[in-house]
Structure 1
Amino acid sequence: MRTRVVSELEAVRRRSLAYTDVDEDELVRQHSPLMSPLVWDLAHIGNYEDLWLVRALGQAAATRPGLDGVYDAFRHDRASRARLSLLGPEGSRAYLREVRARAFELLDHLDPALAHGDDGTRARLLTGGFVYGMVIQHEHQHDETMLATHQLRIGAALLAAGLPAPPGRPVARREVLVPAGPFTFGTSDDPWAYDNERPAHRVDLPAFWIDTLPVSNRAQLAFLEAGGYDDERLWSSAGWDWRQREGLTAPAFWWRDGDTWLRRRLGHVEPVPLDEPVQHVCWYEAEAHARWAGRRLPTEAEWEKAAAHDPATGRSHRYPWGDTAPTPDRANLGHRTSGPAPLGAYPAGASPCGAEQMIGDVWEWTASGFTPHPGFRSHPYREYSEVFFPKDGESSAFRVLRGGSWATGAPACRATFRNWDYPIRRQIFAGFRLARDAD
């Protein structure tokens, strides 16, 4: 366990430092009111690690007293964080080093507890190495957030390009049938799963069809050219109001130059590649496209069954291909590339029903609001999940996304992992796939 924890903590820290190895002005500037200054995310990562790997486990004093209020994500929204008394770039990096040294020292001290348990709160945090997984995933999630900030900033690219993606290929079937019947939704035994993924429970679904691949840029361009962005009949009332207020006419970061559609991706301008999954579309756009295509978005349960359920064994896997960790031939994760791979690039990552690219490439919007699984219990703090659930009698303000993106770290992605956001969000690396009822 210790070897894995150290390896994952060091790997994600290299990623965080790479995204902040830029000029000081780029770090402290607020590139968009939608995002924090990069330097806030950097020190916040250290503060979270201090809270959980130093203070919660070691019952120790804060590494630097007085920082909790500044780096509390629930106290200050993103638009206001540039006005706080933040640590500067060098101060933030020094803070990360100090916290990490204390966390590693404590990890050595707590090693027997990882294997044999302990009393009280620490026992729950240490079971299966949960608290280390939580901190590792949290840093990966902020790395993806920092990539979204890099995407929103205007100017030349600051980050090195990723590796080329594997080539795409045509697939034989546009859609695959998921037979009716029960499956295991969520997990109770994955040691690094968050509280909102728990507990596992049986859900019985009617048969449905789901697309083999996510919706492509080519398909979104067809929707656009057919007048989809201008046809009020295709949009919900809330979606149409948002489309009108924001003047949506294409996915974010797209524009037309003569007869050519271009996009900006991490500072690079290029023609829109037609055979990649579309990204930077909000839930309202996905819903309108689905209605135009005579289809619908899958529910969250449908998505997970298509991704994880193996009818041959009757059990759900951690990933579409099984329980082994992602490899580069199965999924596009962790900023290995600098964007989604072409459709059909990962046949080895197919799920038992035949759906492909369900892990990595683009987060996929589902039809479902963000609500707790039956028997949900907050762990280890309410602000990760519970505060985002709707109150009694209300509907959820958020829509669930599944599957991760090319920017998602592998430890923060599995078939049960639940992401959520407002239906207006476009800066996230999100796309969608379509489904329909079985006849």
Structure 2
Amino acid sequence: MTVALLAERFRSTRALTVALAAPLGDADATVQSMPDASPAKWHLAHTSWFFETFVLRDHRRGYRPFDPAYAYLFNSYYEAEGQRQPRHARGLLTRPTLADIQAYRAHVDGALAAALPDLPDAALALVALGIQHEQQHQELLLTDILHLFAQNPLRPALWPSVPARHAPAPPPLRWIAGRAGVVEIGHAGPGFAFDCETPRHQVLLVPHALADRPVTNGAWQDFIADGGYADARLWLSDGWAWVRANAIAAPLYWQRDGSDWLRFGLDGIGPVDPAVPVAHVSFYEADAFARWAGVRLPTEAEWESAAEGLDPASGNQLDRAGPVSPTAAAPGDGLRQMFGDVWEWTGSAYRPYPGFRPAAGAVGEYNGKFMSGQAVLRGGSCATPRGHVRASYRNFFYPHQRWQFTGVRLAKDL
């Protein structure tokens, strides 16, 4: 990638983050709704801290930090960078103000734009990583705002709702046979990839098939009506304990309205569209639904093997600031909605590939140290910036987490 192209991607990425947060006031941007989520103000600052710390501080001679205190406030989890504000207490940072953080972003943007033409290749690679990092935070920014606004009895909308366009009920799931035998997965060759996507390696796939589209809200309503959340036989032990401890009876952001279901989104309250992919379900729920349906979740190798050759920039993904939500599958043959709409839980644990080595330095903490107790998701969502994902992309969350746009694609053995 040329320096000019890198500079343009940096500019456009930074501008989109600002646009996504533009409707927020200082109070909106300061509050933290749960330990897993971060305030919008913190996202805006942390992504700037990343560029300031790993690029400008380390590779721009004479650079002086915007505010030395920000190194403590906006470090996320990099042990090599020292102490930091506890994650669960990020919402206590009433100062610096949102205006202060906007000034910080402008300072970093200007300094990095001026530095780019003279940066060494190692620093340019960190700029590319920082862009990808900020794209991840763009999705987190939206899902964290959604979770925050869902706690408000007024159910505020980040953006005005658009007229609902309910699609007709989709036809029954069709099954698409996957490749069997020894295949290769993982990233290799040119183009950006995170270290956890490497090295490329061989895996053995048994004969199997994937559903042609994700599970819909309508199918999930059938699961609820059939007592799926009350049948211990469908649930993993930890999942059943989670359901009972938290009184889980529907996807996150669903609520009853008489005999109907409503859902809360970034555009406020609206009816649940039965044709749209179900979102905001945990791994536990995804696994229970698959058992109820008499099938299973795909492995990440099955998913990636099927996705190779498909366009990862296609589908319903994030292009601009505005209403964000999953959409119904368009008519067609073959695998649909593999990219965008909802992240798809797999049955695979997030573990290192054979021969994995984390990157050197502090950025080596980015992925490798989280390879424990989490499950892999694939494919991106409606809140994932277009161009960010690829067939080898590995997202990961703990089994109980569901504030992201997480959904389900089924698989079965043949």
Q: Same fold (TM over 0.5)?
A: yes
Residue of structure 1 equivalent to 2:397:
421
| Residues 83-111 of structure 1 deviation map (CA, whole Å, 9 limit, x = unaligned) | 3474211111111111111111111123x
Query: 1:154-198, CA deviations, whole angstroms, 9 ceiling, x for partnerless residues?
Result: 232123558999967856861100131222211122431000001
Out of 108, 112, 137, the position equivalent to 1:142 is: 137
> Shift of residue 76 of structure 1?
4.2
| 8 Å contact kept, 1:54–1:60 | no
Deviation, structure 1 residue 213: 0.3
Secondary structure of 1:209's partner?
strand
Compared CA separation, residues 237 and 170, structure 1 to 2 (3 A):
closer
1 CA distance for matches of 2:300 and 2:275?
25
Q: Which residue of 1 aligns with 2:80?
A: none
1:40 to 27, 39, 42: 42
For the aligned residues, what is the CA RMSD? 2.3
Give the one of 69, 72, 75 matched to 2:72: 69
User: Equivalent residue for 2:382?
Assistant: 406
- Contact 2:167 2:328 (8 Å CA) reproduced: yes
The alpha-carbon distance between structure 1 residues 223 and 169, as it changes in their structure 2 partners (threshold 3 A), is closer
| C-alpha deviation, 1:300, in angstroms | 1.0
1:8-157 correspondence to structure 2 within 5 Å = 8-21=9-22, 22-58=24-60, 60-64=62-66, 65-74=68-77, 75-84=84-93, 86-110=95-119, 113-114=120-121, 122=122, 126=124, 130-152=125-147, 153=149, 154=152, 155-157=155-157
TM-score (norm 1): 0.84
For structure 1, the 5+ residue unaligned runs are 115-121, 309-316, 390-395
In the alignment, the residues of structure 1 paired with residue 376 and residue 25 of structure 2 have an alpha-carbon distance, to the nearest angstrom, of: 35
Q: Take 1:421 and 1:299, find their aligned partners in 2: how far apart are those partners?
A: 15
Give distance in 2, aligned partners of 1:90 and 1:436. Answer: 52
Write the distance in 2 (CA, Å) between the matches of 1:359 and 1:165: 21
Distance 1:431 1:335 in 2: 20
Task: Look up the equivalent residue of 1:133 and give its one-letter code.
Answer: A
From 388, 396, 399, the equivalent of 2:370 is 388
Deviates more, 1:70-79 or 1:354-363: 70-79
Q: More displaced, 25-34 or 221-230? A: 25-34
Which amino acid in structure 2 is aligned with residue 409 of structure 1?
A: P
Distance across 2 between alignment mates of 1:185 and 1:232 = 35
Q: Work out the percentage of aligned pairs sharing the same amino acid.
A: 35
Measured in 2, the distance between the counterparts of 1:5 and 1:166 equals: 40
The AA in structure 1 aligned to 2:328 is P
Displaced runs of 4 or more, over 6 A: 162-169
Cα 1:165/1:66, change in 2 over 3 Å: farther
Correspondence for 1:332: 316
Letter aligned with residue 66 of structure 1: A
Offset of 1:50 from its aligned partner?
0.9
User: Secondary structure in 2 aligned to 1:188?
Assistant: coil
* Deviation (angstroms), 1:7: 2.3
**Structure 2 residue identity aligned to 1:29:** V
C-alpha separation in 1, matches of 2:37 and 2:207: 41
Determine helix, strand or coil for the equivalent of 1:106: helix
The alpha-carbon deviation at position 412 of structure 1 amounts to 2.3
Tell me, in whole angstroms, the C-alpha distance in 2 between the residues paired with 1:249 and 1:276.
19
Shift of 1:55: 2.4
More off after superposition, 4-13 vs 421-430:
4-13
Q: Where do residues 333-348 of structure 1 align in structure 2 (5 Å cutoff)?
A: 333-334=317-318, 338-344=324-330, 347=332
Q: Distance in 2 between matches of 1:355 and 1:331?
A: 12
Secondary structure of the structure 2 residue equivalent to 1:52: helix
| Aligned residue type for 1:150 | I
State the match for 2:221 in structure 1: 221
CA shift for structure 1 position 53: 2.8
Q: In 1, Cα distance between the equivalents of 2:33 and 2:62?
A: 36
Q: Which moved more, 1:411-420 or 1:356-365?
A: 411-420
Which residue pairs with 1:117 in the alignment? none
Secondary structure of the residue aligned to 1:410 is coil
- Which amino acid in the other structure matches residue 343 of structure 2? W
Choose which of 339, 348, 355 in structure 2 pairs with 1:375.
355
Q: How many residues align?
A: 396
Query: Match of 1:358?
Result: 338
Judged with a 3 Å threshold, the aligned counterparts in structure 2 of structure 1 residues 387 and 298 are, in CA distance, closer, same or farther, namely same
1:241-280 per-residue CA deviation (whole Å, 9 max, x = no partner) reads 0000110000011111111111111151111000111000
Q: Which residue of 1 aligns with 2:276?
A: 276
Once residues 106 and 73 of structure 1 are traced to their aligned partners in structure 2, the CA distance between those partners, rounded to angstroms, is: 25
C-alpha contact 1:183 1:305 (8 A) present in aligned 2: yes
Does the C-alpha gap of structure 1 residues 140 and 224 become closer, same or farther in structure 2, counting only changes over 3 Å?
A: same
Note if contact 2:31-2:92 (Cα within 8 Å) is conserved in structure 1: no
The code of the aligned residue for 1:374 comes to: P
Cα distance change, pair 198–62 in 1 and its aligned pair in 2 (3 A): farther
* Aligned equivalent of 1:311: none
Change (3 A) 1:287 1:173: closer
Q: 1:335 to 1:216 in 2, by over 3 A?
A: farther
Distance 1:340 1:410 in 2: 14
Find the aligned partners of 1:290 and 1:9 in 2 and give their Cα distance: 41
Shift of 1:386: 1.4
Q: Residues 166 and 275 of structure 2 are in contact (CA less than 8 Å); yes or no, is this contact kept in structure 1?
A: no
1:283 Cα shift?
Answer: 0.4
